[in-house]
Amino acid sequence: MNNDVINAAVAVIGVPAVLVGYILLTERLIQALPERRQGRLRPWFWIAPALLFLIVFLIYPTLNTLVLSFMDAQSRNFVGLDNYAWFIQDRGTLEALRNSVLWVVFMTGGVVGLGLLIAVLVDRIRYEPVAKSVIFLPLAISFVAAGVIWSFMYQYQDPSRPQVGTLNALIGLVGLGPIRWTQEQPINNFALIFIGIWMWTGFAMVILSAGLKGISTEVLEAARVDGANEWQVFRRIILPLLLPTMFVVSTTIIITALKSFDIIFTVTNGGFGTNVIALEMWKQMFTPPGNFGRASAVAIVLLLAIIPFMAINIRRFREQEAIR
């Protein structure tokens, strides 16, 4: 234990010190060169540590996973497209794929829709900062904690006993339920997705709210003076102006939804028809005996699903740079 503390302290102080030392040392070496070559060489020394980390932990592994996805369980022999053939034929993976699509559609719709609604509503009230903090709060906690929080919300008791889960007690007040929220299909998938919505709405709200504040008050007032009602102001002015921002937020949420793993891992562990691609990959990898070929193929499918959004991200970034 003590040893660990010392190691961590060494890392916190030592690594930055080594980095600074590295930059100062290379600067000494560069200074010895002729002026023209200094400027050419220096940037490469500065970005080298970052590039090294990116290559080792992101670029090389991703390419390697691609290769592994064409190999067998122990990564010994090439098996061609077998793992992908398994993926599109296996009922389990297809179910996971379907659930991932549900996550993408409903989590993105829920997060962006609610985020927009809340951003527009709180713009009109005095306790806006408090309301925003409350909605934003879940973003700071872990998916695991959120899973625990919501497993208490969704808790189910036999109808003969009093319901201790908040939701079942609530619907019990009007004579409904109780419902097995995390087990009954298809409700359980939506129950899990709502946890994701609960966590990420604050993210969409903060960005959309910042965009909303950027719309000039004069434009809105002018529309109101001209007799537009609040719905028309929203529909004709606010919505079109916020559309690009909503698009950006959506791509982020889509990627988050595709990668979602922790909530499902904590609450149902993929049981009762709630499996998703990201969790399926983990299962292939670690359910003995472990199949690295299939796990890699699942990871590559996930990556392929994300690539279009990555392309959008890059194009948007390029456009942003052009007006900079």
Partner 1 sequence: MTVVTKPLETTRATAVEKGGRGWSRIVLHAVVIGLMLLWLVPTLGLFVNSFRPAADVARSGWWNALFPPWDFTLDNYSRVIAANNLGDSFINSLLITIPATVIPVMVAAFAAYAFAWMNFPFRNAIFVAIVGLLVIPLQSTLIPVLRLLAGAGIAGEFLAVWLAHTGYGLPFAVYLLRNYMGGLPREVFESAAIDGASPTTAFFRLALPMSVPVLASLTIFQFLFVWNDLLVSLIYIGPTNPDNLPMTVRVASLVSSLGGETHFLTAAAFLTMILPLVVFLFLQRYFVRGITGGAVKG
Judged by CB, which is closer to partner 1: 105, or 286?
286
CB of residue 158 vs partner 1: minimum separation in angstroms? Answer: 13
Judged by CB, which is closer to partner 1: 61, or 186?
61
Residue whose tokens read 């625990």: 148
CB of residue 142 vs partner 1: minimum separation in angstroms? Answer: 4
DSSP-derived secondary structure for 193-245: HHHHHHHHHHHHHHHHHHHHHTS-HHHHHHHHHTT--HHHHIIIIIHHHHHHH
CB of residue 19 vs partner 1: minimum separation in angstroms? Answer: 5
Judged by CB, which is closer to partner 1: 9, or 85?
9
Judged by CB, which is closer to partner 1: 100, or 189?
100
CB of residue 184 vs partner 1: minimum separation in angstroms? Answer: 19
249 contacts 208 by C-beta, under 8 angstroms: yes
Classify residue 241 by burial, with Cβ atoms within 10 Å: 0-12, 13-18, 19+.
middle
CB of residue 160 vs partner 1: minimum separation in angstroms? Answer: 13
266 contacts 152 by C-beta, under 8 angstroms: no
Q: Which residues 6+ apart lie within 8 Å of 132 measured at CB?
A: 118, 122, 202, 205, 206, 209
Judged by CB, which is closer to partner 1: 27, or 184?
27
